[in-house]
Amino acid sequence: MRRRRSGSFLHIVLLFVPLAMTAVAGKGRAHAASKLQVVVTVGDLGALAREVLGDAGEVTVLAKPTQDPHFVDARPNLILSLNRADALVSMGLDYEIGWLPVLVRGARNPRLQSGEPGNIVASTMIVVQEIPTQKIDRSMGDIHPGGNPHFTLDPRNASRIAQGMATRFAALAPGNGPVYQKNAAALVARLTSRERKWQAAIAGFRGTPVVTYHRSFVYLTSWLGLVETDTLEPKPGIPPNAAHIGRVIEEMRARKVPLILQERWYPSSVAEQVASQTGAHLVLIPGMTAESARYDDHIDEIVTSITTALAAAKNSAPAQAHKP
């Protein structure tokens, strides 16, 4: 939930981009007649958009799957992709606040501006969790005022987003509307089928306490029936400190917490230390669907990693480590 202002490099680039934009302006309309050109911010949205569009569209993902989406380098090629796009699909809830607005401004594409049909925000299609009820200030860390933006880790939200994409894409390219709706329905049916298997796999572990590195897994743990007891960050976006980690270790020992979850794009040294001190299993989660991979395979990898770790903890039933 950390934010970073785009660097001066991008502002220099924007001084030279307008002439290039003039040369390519308007090309998005030609694409829309055949294949809808869609730009998405992150890999999960990219995987869903590819399935909904099928052969009737093309998808460009701005953030690499190995990048923390809070921090994306604003590169000139991203501006050109946005300039040519018929639609932009973002997560919303200030997830991309540190880099996306300046790219959209630099792209000079009226179709992607806020309020336009081509500007599609995925968070408007789901039920948002952890919307703050109190006044937000910087002492609380990097809290998202609109709620927790890590909602694509719940496949039920993915189904809602796929259906929403189909409707919004159909409004932009009506001739392809039936294709988008059919593709979305097929994806939702596949996710529903696989969800039954995922829920069966996790059934024996419901209610298990877990610790996470960042407040990223609320949708995932809620869906799987796990109980998130603490985070290694003392506050969202604030790096771990010794006093906080010491308290977390004591709590984990007391509650016999068997699992730590962390995205792979964060440094793992602190989580590894805590796992060693407590006997918990550390599972490093791929934060976003990889390029050209299927979203449901991404979720399957996550669920399999979690259930494998929980089964190992249960079968070995080791005494909690009590190292000083």
- Phi/psi of residue 109, nearest 5 degrees: -110, 105
- The pLDDT value recorded for residue 4 is 44
Contacts for 146 with CB less than 8 Å, ≥ 6 apart = 92, 93, 94, 123, 128, 131
37 secondary structure, DSSP code: E
- The pLDDT value recorded for residue 19 is 37
Q: Are 53 and 36 in contact (CB under 8 A)?
A: yes
Biggest distance spanned by C-alpha atoms of the chain: 67
Task: Take residue 122 and report the two structure tokens written for it.
Answer: 């995925």
Contacts for 17 with CB less than 8 Å, ≥ 6 apart = 76, 79, 80, 106
Helices 269-278, 242-255: axis angle to 10 degrees equals 40
Query: Residue by residue, what is the 3-state secondary structure of 241-294?
Result: CHHHHHHHHHHHHHHCCCEEEEECCCCCHHHHHHHHHHCCEEEEECCCCCCCCC
- The pLDDT value recorded for residue 317 is 62
Task: Take residue 161 and report the two structure tokens written for it.
Answer: 């987003």
Q: Are 35 and 58 in contact (CB under 8 A)?
A: yes
Three-state secondary-structure class, residue 259 = strand
User: pLDDT tens digits, residue range 239-259?
Assistant: 999 999 999 999 999 999 999
Verdict on whether the full-model pTM lies above 0.85: yes
Mean residue pLDDT across the chain: 88
Q: Is 222 left (phi over 0), alpha (psi -120 to 50) or beta?
A: alpha
Beta strands in the chain (DSSP E): 36-40, 57-61, 87-90, 119-121, 209-212, 227-231, 259-263, 281-285
- Beta-strand pair 36-40/227-231: unpaired
Q: Please report, in tens digits, the pLDDT of each residue of the chain (324 residues total).
A: 444 444 444 443 444 444 344 444 444 444 444 799 999 999 999 999 999 999 999 999 999 988 888 888 888 889 999 999 999 999 999 999 989 999 999 999 999 999 999 999 999 999 999 888 877 666 565 667 789 999 999 999 999 999 999 999 999 999 999 999 999 999 999 999 999 999 999 999 999 999 999 999 999 999 999 999 999 999 988 999 999 999 999 999 999 999 999 999 999 999 999 999 999 999 999 989 998 899 999 999 999 999 999 999 998 765 444 444
